[in-house]
Structure 1
Amino acid sequence: MTEARPRAAYRRWRDLPTRWADNDIYGHINNAAYYGFFDTIVNCFLIEEAGLDIHNGDVIGLVVETGCNYFAPLAYPDRVEGGLRIAKIGRSSVRYEIALFKPGEPEAAAQGHFVHVYVDRETRRPMPLPDAMRTALEAVHA
């Protein structure tokens, strides 16, 4: 199993609320909900800082790989502090690494990754990352 990374490993942060519906029968956040947190953290960064136009842009990101390691439970009504770093930037792909922390905790409760391949919206063929996106990603590259 991968070891939990410290807060200092991450470059961008977003606070997220947990929701009542995120808990499962065992009294903690269901594993599937973690991917929703990851997706929110990455897409907020892309929209707010990297200029991704999710409605009308020529380029879109398709997820081709995901993974997650769980270290400590999170539960409603916890708040979650999500950290983001970019592990790899390719010609048309990006590997994002995301971690979820309980407020004030030094190590991640969960950390995961996913890989986007950026493609033309219409043809779904890979295309180079737009310059503005690449610049924003490089600023968060670990």
Structure 2
Amino acid sequence: MAASRPSPPDRSAYRAFVPITTRWHDNDVYGHVNNVVYYSFFDTAVNRWLIDAGLLDVETAETIGLVVRTECDYFAPVAFPQSVEAGVAVERLGTSSVTYRVGIFADSDDAARAAGRFTHVYVGRQSRRPAPLPDAWRTALDELLVS
């Protein structure tokens, strides 16, 4: 028995939005943004939000996030030169891990063109061992938490 296809989430499923510009080379031979680029959009959106929130300094942070899981459902294509917005929310806030919900929206659509999850395990930059999220991170990420 085949699994039922999920429906595209709408903007209300997300707590913050990050603008992203598509690039010429994002399109594939079929004339739309290639599926692997969406994972780059997810990574860009999450890390941009963390930087803008004053939580992450990519050059000096003692704690960094390593991706341990991603998934994506595709609903409608996006193509260069469209600009998109990535909706970001937190689905799970663990001791040293965070599962983000990310949706890709284009043309002021209410429904996501693609949606997925992105899990970071936060580790010591040098040790690469799991590290508890600092209190400031936990407070800021709590604002993105959805049930």
**TM-score computed with the length of structure 1 as normaliser:** 0.96
Is contact 1:27–1:75 with CA below 8 Å preserved after alignment? yes
Q: Does 1:13 align with 2:17?
A: yes
Structure 2 partner of 1:129: 133
Q: Does 1:30 align with 2:34?
A: yes
Alignment gaps of 5+ in structure 1? none
Structure 1 partner of 2:50: 46
Alignment gaps of 5+ in structure 2? none
Is contact 2:103–2:115 with CA below 8 Å preserved after alignment? yes
1:99 aligned residue (95, 99, 103): 103
Counterparts of 1:39 and 1:33, CA distance in 2: 10
Q: What RMSD over aligned residues (CA atoms) do the two structures have, in Å?
A: 0.9
Counterparts of 1:132 and 1:24, CA distance in 2: 40
**TM-score computed with the length of structure 2 as normaliser:** 0.93
Q: Does 1:83 align with 2:105?
A: no
Counterparts of 2:105 and 2:46, CA distance in 1: 16
Is contact 1:120–1:126 with CA below 8 Å preserved after alignment? yes
Is contact 1:50–1:136 with CA below 8 Å preserved after alignment? no
Counterparts of 1:115 and 1:83, CA distance in 2: 15
**Identical aligned residues as a percent:** 49
Residues 82-116 of structure 1 deviation map (CA, whole Å, 9 limit, x = unaligned): 10000000000000010001122110000011110
Is contact 2:18–2:49 with CA below 8 Å preserved after alignment? no
